[in-house]
Amino acid sequence: MLILLDRDGVLNRDYPDDYVKSPAELIMLPGVGAAVAKLNARGWPVALCTNQACVGKGIIDTAMLARIHDDMRERLLREGGGKIDAIFFAPDPPWAQTDRRKPGPGMLREAMAQFRKTPAETVFIGDSVTDLQAATAAGCRRILVRSGKGAATQAKGLPAEILPVTVTEHLPDAVDRLIAEISQSANPSTDQPPEA
């Protein structure tokens, strides 16, 4: 399996009308380091696919974004033992969007190519409709977390074309449910009644 994560609202606090512009503004969400560590323990690569229009808008440069991501990686490791294997980011501003900026599937396809995984072997976890649209376009399974923009995204109603979508409370919940489901499918119980 390949696990792809959105960043803001999934791993760290989302600022609805602003951006994370420095490591000091990066506020990690509870339990995310341990959740990523559980994925690492399964041997599943974990990659970030994040829109960062703040770069394209000139609010921060790529050097600052790299500092933010270095700090994020250190904190995931320190606060739970989690390791991010790769980071893909789209710096495009909305008015100059390429296929890499979600809802485009470009970053997701790059990640699948790098880790040699098919869409059927890939899960995307995000908090916005654009995350789910990108995953749909890439052919990946979709999980919506209610952290960040997720609760508002769910409340607005999910478009039919991106269904099915699994909805969970936050990243730790999503990871636990995903691991339990895959473990069950790999080791089906003999106690289950036969399907009709």
- Output the domain CATH number for residue 13: 3.40.50.1000
Instruction: Evaluate whether residue 194 is within a structural domain.
Output: no
Instruction: Evaluate whether residue 191 is within a structural domain.
Output: no
The catalytic residue positions are: 6, 8
Q: How many domains does the chain fold into?
A: 1
Instruction: Evaluate whether residue 190 is within a structural domain.
Output: no
Cβ burial, residue 192 (10 Å; 0-12/13-18/19+)? exposed
Instruction: Evaluate whether residue 195 is within a structural domain.
Output: no
Which residues form the domain of 143? 2-184
Instruction: Evaluate whether residue 192 is within a structural domain.
Output: no
In the prediction, which pLDDT does 188 show?
72
Instruction: Evaluate whether residue 33 is within a structural domain.
Output: yes
The model's pLDDT over 102-142, given as tens digits with 9 standing for 90+, comes to 999 999 999 999 999 999 999 999 999 999 999 999 999 99
Cα distances (angstroms) measured from residue 38 to each of 18, 163, 176, 180? 31, 26, 8, 12
* Statement: residue 25 has pLDDT above 50: yes
Instruction: Evaluate whether residue 31 is within a structural domain.
Output: yes
> H/E element holding 86?
strand 86-90
Whether the predicted model's global pTM rises above the 0.85 cut: yes
